[in-house]
Structure 1
Amino acid sequence: MISLVEEEKKETGILVGLDKGEKNFEEAFEELEELAISAGGLIIDRIVQRLSSPTAPFYIGKGKAKEIAEICKEKKVSFVLFNDDLSPIQCRNLSSLFGCKVLDRTQLILDIFAQRAKTREGKLQIELAQLLYLLPRLTRLWTHLSRQTGGIGTRGPGETQLEVDRRRIQEKIHRLKKELEEVKKTRYIQRSSRQKSPWPTACLVGYTNAGKSTLFNLLTNSKVLVENKLFATLDPTIRLFEFSGGQKIFLSDTVGFIQKLPFHLVESFKATLEEVKEADLLIHLVDISHPLSENQIEEVNKVLEQLGALDKPTILVWNKIDLVKSNGLIKRRIQEYPGSVPISAATGVGCEKLLLKIEQWLKTKRRYLSLKVPVDRMDMVAKFHRVGFGVETDYQPEGILVNGWIPLSFVSSFEPFNVLSNGHEGHENGNVRRIQ
């Protein structure tokens, strides 16, 4: 993919948007500029045209396209960036008319991901997404070589080259998918080992740049990259977090979501996004200081629904309260979203309340047991200590009394020694969207 970053200076570009009457057009267009800046570009002009639908040859109207071509020539811009995806023929026509690079939203996001990917898994996923994007755009790429008489025995070199390129890309896509399957198997093994652990997994999700990595670093004392730009984090990181009371939870930091997240990315990042799908709890971070924070919640929920994770137990967290001047906004958001927690991951304010909320949820995944274990079954006492928390032990001649909270999945193995007829059972409500 084409990078917007040159060695010495930033490339200058123009943003172009087609306003078709969509309610989130302005937000998406503003976000496009943020993406361009995040990629290293310098935006010198923004052009919007109102049309009910795109035109086949240029996406925008022909007159508007010629107007932009004049601006490109006058200001010597390096690229023109469109807010939506372009067809191969639209991209070719516009490039020829403008005399510079023409990029669409998907191509830009793929470029940013390519810049940020650090691990082998991340690089494989990005390369696959790029090739899936490129494959249908090979058509007409070699038309300048195919102007020869057709017929048997006279096939033009352009057509031959096109077929060779398509075959090579398809072979590479197949190879990358096989490599990612191996990555998926490795993740499955790692996830299986975590699932055998008595501790559940909580996954940080949210719009890009909502502060997930900042919170992750604060809670786990990690050093995940934190930058004030979109898609600073691509590769998931998992750490075990221990509460003061002895409870533990696996905490996972994930890639942020965005409007119009390219289909190729969702497909390519399935191995990574499965961390979200398999999590026991979602911690949904929202930038309360963003003027369109509620729209961002909707966009995140769309991706969660696509992943089949929308109905998971979720704690909604209003982050960046240190950037909000009015306490009235914070109070209003809490009233509108009961059970939500206001915090500042940058300063740590409110994080104790968040941890308490997570601990309360953890109790719903456990049951309080009181056991009387024979002295010849010390293995069960050791297991109780290993998987439980808040454990109290009293060694008596007739047996060992053990009390504590146990994960629901382990209850049956301790039931023969349980002396409580009705334990303090945890509860679970599968229909609860947010934790109150």
Structure 2
Amino acid sequence: METERVILVGVETEENYKNFEESMIELKSLTKTANGEVVFSLTQRRPQVDRQTLIGKGKLEELAQLADAHEADLIIFNHELTPRQSQLIGDAVGIPVIDRVQLILDIFAMRARSKEGKLQVELAQLDYLLPRLVGQGKNMSRLGGGIGTRGPGETKLETDRRHIRNKITIIKRELKEVAAHRERTRQKRKDNQTFQIGLIGYTNAGKSTILNILTSAQTYEQDQLFATLDPLTKKWRLPEGFEVTVTDTVGFIQDLPTQLIDAFHSTLEESQGMDLLLHVVDASAENRQQHEETVLNLMNQLELGSLPMLTIYNKADKTDVDQFVPTLFPNVLISAKSSKGKERLIQAIKLAIMESLEPYSFSLQQTEGKILNRLKRETLLLSSDYEEETQSYLLKGFAQPDSYAIRQMN
């Protein structure tokens, strides 16, 4: 895949000045993830963006000269552009112009693996593209090559309006079928009374690493934004034998395009049926609290705010542990890469699971081995002491109130 030479553009206003720098750094990382090389970053301070071209007239001329001087292939704005703005800026600078939303959609198109992931990305792309087809003129000739033009699986994005409308209808129908299938699978897990854990967090916080060390899932684990796109559910057996499922989800990001919240609703809805959420936070990130707020706000939008949650502050190896002050509770500070970190993580998760379950204590005859095995699998069995006098086991542990194994005992 060829690298494209990219100029980034951002306008700092009274509204966005607090997160402006962080947002520009993030835009650079996103561009790198999409295989672009940033050759220049142009920023401007204004009370508010220019309604027609976001940056002022003088800056627009400067941008055209910079594009020429740096032999840029593409300009990426750190703001969502209206179709009209896109057209005016593109005409003025003479090379293709895309915005942050198109860039993120492009990365999602590269990362989608499952059928549902690909359908959701394509739907979001087509919804975004449709109003932008009018008067695109020479910019349209770019479609089918480079950042902002890739469809899922690296196919070309179709640009015929009627075809797009038909395609949107077909995709929505297919997604309904996929969502119904997903709901059936989820219900099956619920009926089996499997304890379900969901991983959530800002993109690149280390969710896939944690899934891998718990379940040996071998998911794509890279220091990149949006390395994971499709939800992946794996079984994890705790040292005591208790079997749970762990689901990884797409990373959250500042100003996540609304098209993506809509498109990925069913993916993130996976998390609504969880018994426990593990919120993974990069402890070494400069804007850690901003990342936390972004995730918590999106969780509230998706009605996940009331679920039990353990915050995992990851990447302790990159931070000064003595100076570290957590903001969310309960929490655990670890480095997922170390064996000590893995032990601490498992202990913290075990405590969080116990908080979500109900304690039990009863005796079991030594002839009832089958039930004992089932209790080990389906409940968190902490001790099974054998008593000579009664020839029975005294069992203590934690279980879901309606657990089948516990019902057998009552």
The bucket for the TM-score relative to the shorter chain is 0.7 to 0.9
**Deviation of residue 369 (structure 1)?**
4.2
Query: Where do 1:236-275 residues align within 5 Å?
Result: 236-275=231-270
* CA-CA distance at 1:55 after TM superposition: 2.0
Instruction: In structure 2, give the amino acid aligned to 1:140.
Output: G
Partner in structure 2 of residue 341 of structure 1:
332
Q: 1:385 Cα deviation (Å)?
A: 6.6
Q: Which residue of 1 aligns with 2:103?
A: 108
Partner AA of 2:12 in structure 1:
D
Q: Is the 8 A contact 1:15 1:83 kept in 2?
A: yes
**CA RMSD after TM alignment:** 2.9
In structure 2, the residue matched to 1:38 is 33
CA distance in 1, matches of 2:316, 2:408: 50
Which residue of structure 2 lines up, in the alignment, with residue 17 of structure 1? 10
Determine which of 339, 346, 363 is the counterpart of 2:354. Answer: 363
Task: Name the count of aligned residue pairs.
Answer: 385
- Runs of 4+ in structure 1 deviating by more than 6 angstroms, as ranges, are 377-383, 393-396, 398-402
CA 1:181–1:218 in 2, change beyond 3 Å: closer, same or farther?
same
What are the equivalent positions in structure 2 for 1:229-378 lying under 5 Å apart? 229-324=224-319, 326-330=320-324, 332-333=325-326, 336-364=327-355, 365-370=357-362
CA distance in 2, matches of 1:351, 1:389: 19
- 1:91 Cα deviation after fit: 0.5
Paired with 1:167 and 1:270, the residues of 2 have a C-alpha distance of: 26
Deviations 1:185-212 (A, max 9, x none): 1111111111122331111111111111
**Structure 1 length normalisation: TM-score?**
0.80
SS in 1 for 2:289: helix
Is the 1:135–1:169 Cα contact (8 Å) retained in structure 2? Answer: yes
1:56 alignment partner in structure 2: 51
1:287 and 1:221 mapped to 2: Cα distance? 21
Q: CA deviation at 1:410?
A: 2.1
Q: Judge conservation of contact 1:15–1:43 (CA < 8 Å) in 2.
A: yes
Matches of 1:32 and 1:217, distance apart in 2: 28
Which of 162, 169, 189 is 2:164 aligned to? 169
Kept in 2, the 8 Å contact 1:55–1:61? The answer is yes
Structure 1's 108 and 400: CA in aligned 2 closer, same or farther, altered over 3 A? Answer: same
Alpha-carbon offset, residue 403 of structure 1:
4.0
Percent of pairs with identical residues: 35
- State how far apart, in whole Å, the 1-side matches of 2:374 and 2:219 are: 34
Task: State the distance in 2 between where 1:307 and 1:111 align.
Answer: 24
Structure 2: runs of 5+ lacking an equivalent = 140-158
Kept in 2, the 8 Å contact 1:218–1:348? The answer is no
Residues 167-198 of structure 1 deviation map (CA, whole Å, 9 limit, x = unaligned)? 33222111111111111111111111111223
Q: CA deviation at 1:399?
A: 12
CA distance in 1, matches of 2:43, 2:380: 59
- 1:408 equivalent to 2:403? Answer no
> Against the structure 1 CA distance between its residues 50 and 168, is the aligned structure 2 distance closer, same or farther, given a 3 Å change threshold?
same
Structure whose CA Rg is larger: 1
SS at match of 1:274: helix
Cα displacement (A) at 1:50: 1.3
- CA-CA distance at 1:165 after TM superposition: 4.0
Q: Which of residues 52, 70, 74 in structure 2 aligns to 1:75?
A: 70
Q: Deviations over 1:264-302 (max 9, x none)?
A: 111111221112222111111111111111111111112
For 1:347, the aligned partner's letter is: S
Contact kept? 2:241, 2:377, Cα under 8 Å = no
CA distance in 2, matches of 1:362, 1:167: 52
**What are the superposed Cα offsets for residues 3-31 of structure 1, whole Å, 9 maximum, x if unpaired?**
xx53xxx1111111011122111111111
Q: 387-396 vs 282-291, which deviates more?
A: 387-396
CA distance in 2, matches of 1:43, 1:413: 59
Q: Is the 8 A contact 2:379 2:400 kept in 1?
A: no
SS of structure 2 residue aligned to 1:183: helix
Aligned-partner SS, 1:37? helix
Residue 308 of structure 1 aligns to a residue whose secondary structure is coil
Work out whether residues 277 and 307 of structure 2, in 8 Å CA contact, stay in contact via their aligned partners in 1. yes
Give the unaligned 5+ runs of structure 1.
Answer: 145-163, 419-436
- Superposition TM-score, scaled by structure 2 size: 0.85
